[in-house]
Amino acid sequence: MCYNGYVRGLVTELCYLLGAICVTVFTISYWGPTADWLRPWVAFPPHIVAPLAFWLFFLTMWVFIRIAVRSLTGLMRWERLHWFIQSIGLVLGGLRGLWWSGFLMLVLSSSGFLYLRESVEERSIVGPRLTALWRQAVTQCSQYVPGGVTPGNTLIPPVVQAKP
């Protein structure tokens, strides 16, 4: 991610970073209403519709952000000129990589698979601290969105239903 930020430049990497944050926040905020809307149309149980709605919403938003950023940066050719601008792009690429790694840790710990949750939350050295920090950061960011998630709701629906 850092090298991509260096090659692409400041504005491109800033757009990708903001896009990553927006995709995550809007997906976490609106996967519930999307799942409610899909339930009458899909003949699956609710514990399958929730992750399906989450990942469908996430991938759709991600593709739209990629298309928008590519078309926007296709208009700009000047940002790759100066090394200082490319260096700031390098830093923003690193931040985008950290954002996606935090999202991946949250997905793994919320997946419902016992092995993945234990790997992130118990067996990892820094996983428990980073997962808690990242969960708090995403919850705070998603509360700025109208209809955002409250702390009691599930951020990411589990893929596997918990056994009693």
Q: pLDDT by residue (tens digit) across 134-146? A: 888 887 777 777 7
Residue corresponding to tokens 């400041």? 10
pLDDT confidence tier of residue 63, bands split at 50, 70 and 90:
very high
Per-residue pLDDT tens for 41-61? 888 887 788 888 888 889 999
- Domains held by the chain: number: 1
Euclidean distance between CA atoms 161 and 157, whole angstroms: 9
pTM above 0.85, yes or no: no
Confirm if 157 and 44 have CB atoms less than 8 A apart: no
What percentage of the chain reaches a pLDDT higher than 70? 82
Q: Which two tokens stand for residue 45?
A: 């149980």
Sign of CA dihedral 125, 130, 131, 133: positive
Q: Is residue 163 part of a domain?
A: no
* Residue 27 placed within a domain: yes
Q: Which domain, by its residues, includes 10?
A: 2-142
